[in-house]
Amino acid sequence: MSEVDDGRAGGPVRPPDASHNELGGTVYGPSVQARTVHGGIHFSVQRPDTAVVPWQLPPGPPMIDRRRELAELHRLLRADGGPIVLLSGMPGVGKTTLALAWLRGLGEEFPDGRLYADLRGHGDGPPARWTEIVGGFLRGLGVPAGEVPPVPAEQLGLYRSLTAQRRLGVLLDDAATAAQVRPLLPAGPNVTVVTSRSRLSGLLVNGGVPVHLEPLERQAAVELLAATMNDHRVRQEPVQAGELVDLCARLPLAVQVAAARLAARPNRPITTMVRALADERGRLDALALDGDHTVRAALDVSYRDLPEAASLLYRGLGVHPGPDFGPVVAAALLGTGEGGDPDAAQLVLDVLVDRNLLTEAADGRYRFHDLIRLHAVAKMCDRPAPERADALRATLDHYLATATCAEVLLEPQHATLSRDYARADVPRVEFADRGAALAWLEQHRVTLSAAIRAAASARLPVLAWQLTDALWPLFLRGKYFDEARTAHEIGLRAARECADPAAESRMSTSGGLSELSAGNHDTALRMFTEASRVCVDSGDAVGAARTRNYTGLALLRLGRLDEAAEAFREAEARCLALGDDRPAALARFNRADVALRSGLPDRAVEYAEAARVELDRVGDEYNAARAQALIGRALSAWARHDEADAQLTAALEVLRGHRAPVEAAHVLSALAESAERRKRPDHARELYAEALELYGAVRTPAAEVVRARLRDLGPPG
């Protein structure tokens, strides 16, 4: 007999005399066997208990002020109800802490629970395989242990079926590769967070959205310090607390380790930990708890997992003298192919960036975070001395070769002294024009100065003075007086150590010119006198003649006009006799300056024009423009204002093209003086202000003169 439905809410009704058989409960499998069955039969097959709400998230430390990052995560949630977030960052930056805090806070938006798996991507043992994880996920979703399918592919199918209609949060923590993660991605409108020290770009094809985590802001790091210490010391020592988190590079793991050490010593002031961390050589050791080198261990794991070329580059960059570097430095360290292969080196740099051991800036340069740099230094210190020496020499040779390329382009008439490289095919940056060359020198100024000091410390005196020599165009145009003085002091000692008269003379003269620009005229005169003695003693007639011109410059600035005029006249005659035409033209240019200062503008124009013609002939555009500017100043003093302004304006255009801001400021000041003579105070005021802006922070007497003239002019009328 079959059942009939009477249409009432009670459901189907059996006839009174009918027999009935019913099989209920949960049935897994394809069939149910029975021998003899009478009456109606009902099969009821149910899926696992959907009421199970898993909550597998482990406890985590409290999170301090990641409001910006949380806002970004919530924005992704609004844009895509079930995003796959790829949360990456350097070791110890707090990726898991942020992920746990965010997933816990999602609340009713994802009511069906949270799944968690530690993928052990950077542990001591092998990374977890997805086959180890999916069974735990199924049990968390309510599948009894004995009923989990034995075949991995069936487990994945069931996992996806069970997650298809749910709204879950899934945290896949510490992933090593995209392949490890991909099978564990849930189906349906769930939110998945994957944390990793690598960027896992392979998951972008699965819809992953990268979110990169940086160290804490300073105030947030101080708050984390205070929360971990849980006492009054941060309030009592706020300055020292700020210094401490800076020494920890505002890395949450490092801040918490430092705080824990202080918490265990409640009577010890914060300043003691600051002193302990101030020494870079022992900083990683100081960030340890009970012998467990927590920060170092976290970085060791990342280093251990690097491919061979990446580990070589990582520790090689530990000897880099400056704060940032480009791919050609990497090529020099790796020695990839003839002359180095920046493209191959770029791939290795990408590995370090992908593992969050390097940060890439928008301008194509790279840098370490402070604690990672110290770790790289430590790894290089563990290597044999020859490897350390080779890495430093390759780095310094790269900077010497590139700076020399810039020098030749910027100062083609400046005789380049010999360069000694460890190998012939040094990787270097090639420049399209003078502007690119000077821009590179400016961009790497801090690193280049550090390279000079590193060469001296490593007992590489030849490199020390040659690097100083190569930076002459930078010091000449930028007027970096303090840096130039330090570099030339090192370079001069190095040249004397090498017993190289030509190098010693060059260091004295170029250093003296920097002192002259800084207004230290007596010091410059002493340096030029010493250079002249070295040239005479070594039989260098050309050097002695040129040095006589430099001596004249110092005498001129000291106001000893007659002695200066004689020195310039003598230098010009001796250089002409030796066939040294460009220095002779420079001496003639300096004679024009003496004439102008002596109240002889007509003679100044004559000498300066002769110098300009010769400098143009030998291709020295920069100094030819300076001579033209002097002609303009002389014409202005001669009251030939229209001609003066034309000469000055033409010179200004050339000097701007050479990116020589101080020389351009001198010309603007001369144009302003011309405007004053022509009773145009408003125009003069504008020109003086522009000159002062170009002088910037350069401490030169000319800048002080401009400030005084602006004060005398007063505010605009």
pLDDT tens-digit series, residues 182-241: 999 999 889 999 999 888 989 999 999 999 999 999 999 999 999 989 899 999 999 999
pLDDT tens per residue across span 378-417:
999 999 999 999 999 999 999 999 999 999 998 887 777 8
DSSP 188: S
431 close to 440: Cβ distance less than 8 angstroms: yes
Mapping DSSP to helix (H, G, I), strand (E, B) and coil, where does residue 339 land?
coil
**Which tokens sit at 274?**
């600051």
With tokens 């002080």, the residue in question is 704
CA atoms within 13 A on the CB side of 640: 14
Q: How do 4-5 and 169-173 pair as beta strands? A: unpaired
**Which tokens sit at 66?**
């990641």
177 close to 200: Cβ distance less than 8 angstroms: yes
Taking 70 as the pLDDT cut, the residues of the chain under it are 1-51, 79-81, 123-124, 289-293, 336-340, 697, 717
Tell me the torsion sign for CA atoms 477, 480, 483, 488.
Answer: positive
How many Å apart are CA 563 and CA 46, to the nearest integer?
Answer: 109
What pLDDT score does 411 carry? 85
What pLDDT score does 246 carry? 93
Nearest Cα to 171, choosing from 90, 80, 57? 57
DSSP 281: G
How many Å apart are CA 510 and CA 516, to the nearest integer?
Answer: 10
What pLDDT score does 188 carry? 85
With tokens 């021998």, the residue in question is 35
What pLDDT score does 37 carry? 55
Instruction: Output the DSSP codes for 414-476.
Output: SPPPP---SSS-------SSHHHHHHHHHHTHHHHHHHHHHHHHTT-HHHHHHHHHHTHHHHH
DSSP 619: T
How many Å apart are CA 241 and CA 246, to the nearest integer?
Answer: 9
What pLDDT score does 26 carry? 43
DSSP 599: T
276 close to 284: Cβ distance less than 8 angstroms: no
How many Å apart are CA 287 and CA 297, to the nearest integer?
Answer: 10
What pLDDT score does 51 carry? 57
**Which tokens sit at 672?**
């302003």
What pLDDT score does 98 carry? 93
What residues are paired with 579 via a beta bridge? none
Tell me the torsion sign for CA atoms 250, 252, 257, 258.
Answer: positive
Q: How many CB atoms lie within 10 A of CB 461?
A: 21
* Overall size of the chain counted in residues: 717
* φ, ψ (nearest 5 deg) of residue 43: -110, 130
